[in-house]
């Protein structure tokens, strides 16, 4: 039987300034049961450098050594985060360490904990990974991966990838969740005449495809494209494309709510925050046919297009513009799918992993 005494969990998460306030993987922390887990959250802000040595010669040297002998995603900020975690473990201990961004966070602690375990009980180590297999080989240290007690992945392709290095019992597929209270359908009526297609983000987006599809449909005055990304800020775009470089959280939610469909051609994908935000706002999705995408929108809420075929994307959007009944049905399915991926439900799977390791 699980102990009634709350377990101490130390979480390390990365922060990027462009992330939305109510979106992102770290949101599940808010939903963990406080009666079962005492949480200590350590944030690594990628904008700052917390390395305590300011010497003009030593600092660049240490940075050079880190980048030479670790992975490309690891830097001085991550080194400091590991040092802080080690100090906290040494001073008061914790039962489990969860690195929410495994590509960034771990290089030293798994080995250090094992070497010092004769002095203090070694914590269990969990890491969540976000990048698709096409990117993982360049950002992982597989000696570190093999030291982990458990890995959480966000897409089926990732699970198969990590099972090359760890037993199947040590790899859990837990889908990314979404805050369905913040991201929700709007209460106002949408324009029945126009199909407003929204595209958001930069990472692994195929904006060449977006622009080509927009050009194919430029003569249709009832279809317009709204792109929230600095990636197109300096580009010459068709007249039916409107570009926004940066929006506040509330403005972005309103744009989702005012739009008709989420149009998001991708080069690759695991979990995609924008897809989750869009379906939570009741948006049908027209998206690339990828294994990671299918895991999140497997039903009637999405139209999947193989190989980012421009003509098929254009045909799908035109079909939705002409068939408002289907658009409305897809919108209902989208919101229902988002409710299935609510953090309140997803967090139970994370708690199950923690409990299994801490018995």
Per-residue pLDDT 10s for the chain (359 aa) are 555 789 999 999 988 777 788 999 999 999 999 999 999 999 987 666 665 556 566 666 666 666 655 566 677 788 888 989 999 999 999 999 999 999 887 888 999 999 998 888 999 999 999 999 999 988 888 889 999 999 999 999 999 999 999 999 999 999 999 999 999 999 877 767 899 999 999 999 999 999 999 999 999 999 999 999 988 888 889 999 999 988 899 999 999 999 999 999 999 999 999 999 999 999 999 999 999 999 999 999 999 999 999 999 999 999 999 999 999 999 999 999 999 999 999 999 999 999 999 98
Say if residue 307 is exposed, middle or buried (CB neighbours under 10 Å; 0-12, 13-18, 19+).
exposed
Check if CATH label 3.40.50.2000 holds for domain 195-340. yes
| Angstrom distance (rounded) from CA 312 to CA 298 | 19
Cα-based torsion angle of the residue sequence 283, 284, 288, 293 in order, rounded to the nearest 10 degrees: 70
CB atoms within 10 A of CB 53: 9
Q: How far separated are the first and last CA of the chain, in Å rounded?
A: 8
Cβ-based neighbours of 154, under 8 Å, separated by 6 or more: 25, 128, 129, 130, 173, 174, 175, 176, 270, 271, 292
Q: Could you list the beta-strand ranges (E) of 34-191.
A: 37-45, 96-99, 124-129, 150-153, 171-173
What SS3 class is residue 88? Answer: helix
What region, left, alpha or beta, does residue 201 occupy, with left being phi > 0 and alpha being psi -120 to 50 degrees?
left
- Whole-Å CA distances, 220 to 196, 217, 225, 243: 12, 6, 12, 19
Closest among 289, 295, 275 to 155, alpha carbons compared: 295
Check if CATH label 1.20.1300 holds for domain 7-177+342-358. no
Intervals of CATH 3.40.50.2000 along the chain: 195-340
């Amino acid at each position: 039987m699980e102990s009634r005494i709350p377990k101490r969990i130390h979480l390390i998460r990365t922060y990027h300034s462009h992330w939305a306030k109510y979106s992102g993987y770290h949101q599940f922390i808010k939903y963990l049961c406080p009666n079962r887990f005492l949480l200590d959250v350590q944030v690594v802000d990628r904008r700052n450098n917390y390395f305590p040595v300011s010497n003009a010669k030593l600092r660049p040297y240490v940075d050079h050594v880190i980048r030479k002998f670790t992975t490309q995603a690891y830097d001085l900020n991550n080194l400091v985060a590991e040092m802080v975690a080690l100090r906290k473990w040494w001073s008061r201990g914790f039962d489990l360490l969860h690195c929410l961004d495994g590509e960034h966070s771990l290089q030293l602690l798994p080995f250090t904990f094992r070497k010092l375990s004769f002095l203090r009980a070694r914590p269990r180590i969990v890491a969540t990974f976000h990048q698709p297999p096409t990117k993982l080989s360049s950002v992982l240290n597989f000696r570190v991966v093999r030291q982990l007690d458990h890995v959480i992945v966000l897409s089926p392709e990732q699970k198969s990838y990590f099972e090359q290095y760890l037993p199947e019992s040590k790899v859990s597929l837990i889908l990314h969740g979404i805050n369905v209270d913040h991201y929700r359908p709007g209460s106002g009526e949408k324009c029945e005449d126009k199909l407003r297609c929204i595209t958001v983000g930069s990472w692994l987006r195929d904006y060449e495809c977006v622009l080509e599809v927009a050009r194919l449909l430029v003569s249709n005055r009832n279809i317009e494209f709204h792109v929230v990304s600095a990636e197109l800020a300096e580009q010459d775009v068709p007249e039916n494309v409107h570009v926004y470089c940066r929006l506040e959280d509330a403005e972005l939610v309103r744009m989702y709510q005012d739009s008709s469909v989420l149009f998001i051609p991708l080069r690759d994908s695991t979990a995609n925050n924008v897809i989750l935000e869009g379906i939570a706002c009741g948006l049908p999705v027209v998206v690339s046919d990828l294994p990671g995408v299918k895991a999140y929108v497997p039903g009637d809420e999405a139209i999947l297009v193989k190989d980012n075929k421009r003509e098929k994307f254009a045909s799908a959007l035109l079909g939705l513009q002409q068939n408002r009944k289907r658009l409305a049905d897809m919108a209902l399915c989208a919101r229902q799918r988002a409710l299935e991926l609510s953090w309140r439900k997803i967090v139970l799977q994370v708690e199950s992993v923690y409990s299994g390791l801490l018995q």
